[in-house]
Amino acid sequence: MRHQKSINHLGRTSTHRKAMLSNMASSLIMHKRISTTIAKAKALRGYVEPLITRAKIDSTHSRRVVFSYLQDKDAVTELFREVSVKVADRPGGYVRILKTGFRLGDNADMCIIELVDYNENLLTVKDSAAKKATRRRKPATKKATEGSETVVAEKAPKAEAKPVEVVEEVVETPVEEETKDNEAETK
């Protein structure tokens, strides 16, 4: 049973695990997307999301606390300059885990963990899906059942269609000279 076992030790000592998560978090912040195993990605999500939340408040204390976790000045600078500005209005859920299949060597479950606001492909797909109109046909009448009776709603009046004028043009096709000569000979 898993009573009170809140963290995945990932088969490592605590110092090794902390160093690994710190390096992975720095790589995620710098590159915006990394590929790893699902177990490591889930552990990393719990490690990096509080840091991103702390980065929303740009103060000396916040920078020092984040630096104590990341141990990388470039990653801290990137986090406070770019990432925190982009996620300022987001209430949480800063990373996304996308499963990619199994690793060839040991068949481990692999995934991509990425910062949500930096995947330009998914952002454009989401915008185009929101603009796409539905292609479903709407029913002409609504049926509501009350007890054993069936009530049919009236149809909404449609706008009257204006008559369309049909204009036909007669186009004369040029007749070849040979056909004219043939007609003259037959007469």
Instruction: Write out pLDDT tens, residues 23-50.
Output: 999 999 999 999 999 999 999 999 999 9
Q: At what angle are helices 14-31 and 60-70 packed, to 10 degrees?
A: 120
Count of positions (residues) in the chain: 187
Is residue 134 within 8 Å of residue 125, measured between CB atoms? no
Q: How far is the first Cα of the chain from the last one, in angstroms, to the nearest whole number? A: 109
Place of tokens 């930096």: 118
Domains belonging to the chain, first-starting first, are: 14-120 (3.90.1030.10)
- Average the pLDDT over each of 3-12, 106-115, 145-154 and give the range with the smallest value: 145-154
Distance of alpha carbon 140 from alpha carbon 149, whole angstroms: 19
Q: How many other C-beta atoms can be found within 10 angstroms of the C-beta atom of residue 25?
A: 25
pTM of the predicted structure, to 2 decimals: 0.65
Compute the mean pLDDT over every residue in the chain, rounded to the nearest whole number. Answer: 83
Round the CA-based radius of gyration of the chain to a whole number and report it: 34
Three-state DSSP class for 57?
Answer: coil
Cα separation values, 117 from 1, 58, 120, 171, Å: 37, 19, 8, 61
Place of tokens 């046909």: 137
Phi–psi pair at 113, nearest 5 degrees: -110, 130
Supply 39's token pair: 């177990």
Tens digit of each residue's pLDDT (9 = 90 or more) over 156-175: 555 566 666 666 666 565 55
Bridge-based pairing of strands 95-102 and 143-146 is: unpaired
Q: What is the pLDDT of residue 61?
A: 98
Is residue 98 within 8 Å of residue 111, measured between CB atoms? yes
Distance of alpha carbon 166 from alpha carbon 14, whole angstroms: 83
- Amino acid sitting at position 108: A
